[in-house]
Structure 1
Amino acid sequence: MKDQLSLAFHVLVYLGLIHVTAFVVSGEPQVPCLFIFGDSLVDSGNNNALTTAAKANYRPYGIDFPQGVTGRFTNGRTVADIIGQLLGFPKFIPPYATAADQEISTGVNYGSGSAGIREESGSHLGDRISMDRQLLNHEKIISRLSALQSNKTFTDEYLKKCIYLSNIGSNDYINNYLIPSIYSTSKTYTADEYAAVLVQQYSQQLKTIYNLGARKIAVFGLGQVGCTPAEIKRFGTNGKPCVEWINDAVQLFNDKLKSLVAKLNTDYQDARFTLINLTSISAPQGDVPLPNTPCCQVGEDGQCVPDSKPCLVRALTVFYDGFHPSEISNTAIATRSYISVIPMDTYPYDISHLARL
């Protein structure tokens, strides 16, 4: 029991939850709607009907989620789910694949497992809804919303008040740059050149979100991909806690993304872009070893083996499978995105501030 309590404390300190206030959200949502773009970190079921290996519509995924198995790549709620709750939404934002007309006024989740900024990222796994395709889906939702509201001017003003989350880019490394046997990007670009090319394409996509009416946009940086159990197993760490050269490559992207957010705020003064710094949020607090053992039994693809039994105490695990955080990790990320614990967590402001602007 003492060892379990010690482990619990270490995991909670690592996640930053010791410092995070518990939020009780009640009353009306702080913004009228929430739109979510991204990959498997936010996918809530858009991949279920696709022909792809990147899907999580089977147990033990969803084992702690109120609705059970939905296609979320974790045991419970995603970061986007929890941010939605912190913003006061009484229901989870529906996935684009199944969003009914009566649901879309509160927002839509376009996230797709294995999707990337680049169109080809994740293609070896099968179909996925890339960022460019997610933007096309958002255009369709705006058309549906405008028809329902029967007033384009009202819809335009309505969309300006919503929050837009974008959490994408990990697959441009995991399922592209880091697989030279399938993708040519690592032969074509140095790590710095690739980060620049990615951020340049992403900048166009974020401008498209703006042009479609968004004025409050939270952009997630990439987490430490080199600390995921699957990448550690694949590449080894030379005695270090993580695969440092992968984290170094990803940090080049994050640094350029921060500069992009600053530039977008300068160029579009009627909008507010903010960066969620996942590297800061996921950094160990103090001298704490990184707990990077998957909770579920994983296959060669790093995902949970269907119908396998996950670890019993899921509140003490950082990763649920080889790539994806557990719900407790997602809680830490979401709460520190919503209200910063330290100034480095968000730039220039957290999501609770963004909602009030």
Structure 2
Amino acid sequence: MTCYFSLLCHTMIVAVLMQFQIFVAVSQPQVPCYFIFGDSLVDNGNNNDLVTMAKANYPPYGIDFPEGVTGRFTNGRTIADIIGQLLGFSKFISSFANATDEDISTGVNYGSGGAGIRDESGSNLGGHISLNMQLQNHAAILSRLLLLQQNSTFTNEYVKKCIYLVNMGSNDYINNYLMPEKFPTSRIFTPDQYAAVLASQFSQQLTTLYQLGARNVAVFGVGLIGCTPAEIARFGTNGTCVESINNDVKLFNDRLKPLVDNINSNFSDARYTFINATGISTPQRGVALPNVPCCQLRSDGQCIPNSIPCANRSLFTFFDGFHPTEVANTVLATRSYNAQSPTDASPYDISQLAAISTDASQLAAI
């Protein structure tokens, strides 16, 4: 992920407007509920009580977040938080670990640092909630929702109107394929074979999500993890991106749009869309900011507890060795919600998904 000054100035304006939006959010969100699946890029505290190195429930994480330290792997809001605000939700979606019966009617965040498409991804860090486990947790939430609403037809139609965000795959590379000393995948599969196996499993999981009632699903591609400070330091590329990593990840990302198109073809009422995280994170103009972390790092790429981060966090792309700052998250969130380029989101951006969901529910009611 690379940030440029011309883009950053635009982003800083957007960030100010987003802060203002917290207080002027519309009285009703655009969709009734919002469910979030993913890894540390969207985790909002599900890992706090797990035995794992992948947790961010300590300062300086959360230094700019209105609720302080929560377990978010950034200085402020995550991509999922910002998209939720753009959808009109007045409160941040609750983590699965802390969701009450009152909370679940507006959605749940299942994200878990270290989680991957493959169950073993991230196990080197300790406990985590893989995508398969997150899907099981979602099924449990749907059962709770049914008990509360006492009407299976209503519940089934209700969840079809929701927006679903799925941001997975980074740990299948960072904490699996790129760690031959801990995982055998790079010895078993060529990069293209691994991308194919990963995409096939992901397709099955996204189909399971459809079977659980999801219809409006934003599927995020994997970002430029070869440009993260931790990978740059590990491979000793003197501040430049590790292109071999980005090339491997591209093989997976290139399979996601056809995967999404295939699900939409197989299910006539499916409205899945691909969010091009790599394309959004690669601006075409401006002066590049260096790929350096804002906080002081532990050996695993996370912030040293209680360390003092950089003073001007709006001028940094990365908060720690892997995770973006809030200002970088704002770029990705705003352009996935309202695409600035046809390549940002296909076939819909998230605002279009929300509008289609509303139109479909109105037609169903006639």
Q: TM-score, normalised by structure 1?
A: 0.94
| Contact 1:14 1:282 (C-alpha < 8 Å) held by counterparts | no
What amino acid maps onto 1:341 in structure 2?
Q
Answer yes or no: is the 8 Å Cα contact 1:14–1:285 preserved in 2: no
Q: SS of the residue aligned with 1:304?
A: coil
Q: Offset at 1:46? A: 0.1
Gaps of 5+ in 2: 357-366
Residues 34 and 163 of structure 2 are in contact (CA less than 8 Å); yes or no, is this contact kept in structure 1?
A: yes
Percent of aligned positions with the same letter in both sequences?
A: 63
After superposition, residues 113-124 of structure 1 pair within 5 angstroms as 113-124=113-124
**Are the counterparts in 1 of residues 313 and 325 from structure 2 also a CA contact under 8 Å?**
yes
The match for 2:196 is 196
1:261 maps to what in 2?
260
Contact 1:14–1:284 (CA under 8 A) maintained in structure 2? no
1:334 corresponds to which residue? 333
Cα separation, 1, equivalents of 2:13 and 2:113:
31
Q: After TM superposition, give the deviation of residue 217 of structure 1 in Å.
A: 0.4
Q: Work out the CA distance in 1 between the residues paired with 2:4 and 2:178.
A: 31
Q: Match for 1:139: what amino acid?
A: A
Q: Does 1:234 pair with 2:234? A: yes
Partner of 2:66: 66
- Of residues 345-354 and 14-23 in structure 1, the stretch that sits farther from structure 2 once superposed is 14-23
**1:232, 1:243 within 8 Å by CA — same for their partners in 2?**
yes
Mapped to 2, the partners of 1:147 and 1:349 lie a distance apart of 33
Unaligned regions of 5+ residues in structure 1, if any?
1-8
Q: Which residue does the alignment assign to 1:98? A: 98
Question: Does the 8 Å contact 2:226/2:243 carry over to 1?
Answer: yes
SS at match of 1:165: strand
Aligned in 2, Cα 1:73/1:28: closer, same or farther, shift over 3 Å? same
Q: Give the match for residue 313 of structure 2.
A: 314
8 Å CA contact 2:227–2:242 kept in 1: the answer is: yes
Q: Which residue of 2 aligns with 1:3?
A: none
Q: Could you say which residue in structure 2 is the equivalent of 1:131?
A: 131
Offset at 1:286?
Answer: 1.4
In structure 1, the residue matched to 2:31 is 31
TM-score (norm 2): 0.92
Q: What letter is aligned with 2:166?
A: S
Aligned equivalent of 1:173: 173
Write the deviation string for residues 91-120 of structure 1: whole angstroms up to 9, x where unpaired: 000000010001100000000000000000
CA deviation string 1:326-353 (max 9, x = no partner): 0000111100010001111111110000
CA distance in structure 2 between the partners assigned to 1:203 and 1:173 by the alignment: 17
1:11 corresponds to? 5
In structure 2, what is the Cα distance between the partners aligned to 1:265 and 1:141?
25
Alpha-carbon distance between aligned partners in 1 of 2:124 and 2:78, rounded to the nearest angstrom: 25
Task: Give the SS at the match of 1:344.
Answer: coil
Q: Does the C-alpha gap of structure 1 residues 90 and 20 become closer, same or farther in structure 2, counting only changes over 3 Å?
A: closer
Deviation at 1:259, TM superposition (A): 1.1
8 Å CA contact 1:215, 1:270 repeated in 2: yes
Shift of 1:285: 2.8
Retained in 2: the 8 A contact 1:20–1:336? no
Amino acid of the structure 2 residue aligned with 1:157: E
Q: Which amino acid aligns with 1:177?
A: Y
Alignment of 1:245-256 (within 5 A): 245-256=244-255
The one-letter amino acid paired with 2:7 is V
Contact 2:83 2:333 in 1 (8 A): yes
Matching residue's letter, 1:326: T
Name the residue aligned to 1:146: 146
What is the Cα deviation at residue 271 of structure 1?
1.1
CA distance in 1, matches of 2:198, 2:86: 31
Q: CA deviation at 1:321?
A: 0.1
Aligned residue identity for 2:267:
Y
Counterpart of 2:105 in 1: which secondary structure?
A: helix
Deviations 1:35-90 (A, max 9, x none): 00000000000000000000000000000011100000000000000000000000
Q: CA RMSD in A?
A: 1.6
Whole-Å separation in 2 of the counterparts to 1:15 and 1:167: 26
Q: Does the CA contact (< 8 Å) of 1:11 and 1:291 recur in 2?
A: no
The CA deviation string for residues 13-33 of structure 1, in whole angstroms up to 9 with x for no partner, is: 268638969565423100000
CA contact (8 A) 2:118 2:130 kept: yes
> 1:43 touches 1:112 (CA, 8 Å); kept in 2?
yes
Residues 15 and 329, structure 1, Cα contact 8 Å, conserved in 2: no
Query: What is the CA-CA distance between 1:262 and the residue it aligns to?
Result: 1.1
Is 1:293 aligned to residue 292 of structure 2?
yes
Q: Distance in 2 between matches of 1:240 and 1:264?
A: 39
Mapping of residues 274-285 of structure 1, within 5 Å: 274-285=273-284
Given that 1:320 and 1:326 are in contact with CA atoms closer than 8 Å, whether structure 2 keeps it comes out as: yes
Distance in 2 between the 1:125 and 1:58 partners? 17
Distance 2:157 2:4 in 1: 46
d(CA) in 1 for partners of 2:240, 2:121: 27
Verify the 8 A CA contact 2:229 2:322 in the aligned structure 1.
yes
CA 16–277 in structure 1, closer or farther in 2 if over 3 Å, else same: farther
